[in-house]
Amino acid sequence: MRIGKYRINNAVLPLVVINVVVFLLQIIIGNGFTEMFMLISSDIFTRPWILLTSMFLHGGPFHLFFNMYVLFMFGTLLENRIRTGKFLALYFLSGIFASFVASFFYSRALGASGAIFGILGAIVILIPNLKVMPLFIPVPMDLWKALLIFTILDIFFFSNIAVMAHIAGGVFGVLFGLYFQKKQKVRIYKKPHSPGTHMTSEDIEDYLRRGRI
């Protein structure tokens, strides 16, 4: 959707709002609400929906803030690249896959990190030259290097983080990116416009995004 010359994303902002609202419900209703919808490994076959609902729960304000910050910054970039439908498919499938893998390593887990690492994994493939500047290392570096550093820190210094969910989500995102990249290469291009035919704003945007008309 566009307002004038500004593009408003269809998925990222609603996802952020939903996560914030659910966190407020966790605070207002209490632990009973969180327990009802969080990932409990012994319950995944009797209550399979918790693979999805646990993605919208968070363990505290910092957990929520960090996940939503990364979702807004990188999710916006990826949604503009692959469009809303594919972005939502990646978000939910990588999150559910991460939850399923996490259930074999942790008795309980919650958070959107698996889905967010899915987004980051896809960006590593689809925007390979993207540079980031981690907060604690003020030096620009490739996104995949930053992800590797964060994963190592998670493994050795943060025992309360479900690192296997991060890895599973990231691997799913990488595979999604490879599939999307391959599909784009075999896409049949539209015929060039005939002389005198004006390109629409949609044509121009499509060319800038994909290098084709």
Catalytic residues: 113, 166
Q: How far is CA 28 from CA 25, 34, 142, in A?
A: 5, 11, 40
How far is the C-alpha of 91 from the C-alpha of 97, rounded, in Å? 10
Bridge partners, 35 (sequence order): none
Q: Tokens 């008795």 sit at which residue?
A: 107
Angstrom distance (rounded) from CA 99 to CA 63:
17
DSSP-based three-state secondary structure for 123: helix
What residues does 7 pair with on adjacent strands? 2
Alpha helix segments (H runs only) across 55-194: 61-70, 76-82, 84-102, 113-126, 143-157, 163-185
Contact 40, 102 (CB under 8 A): no
Q: Do 84 and 11 contact (CB within 8 A), yes or no?
A: yes
Paired with 175 in beta bridges are: none
Tokens of 205: 């945007």
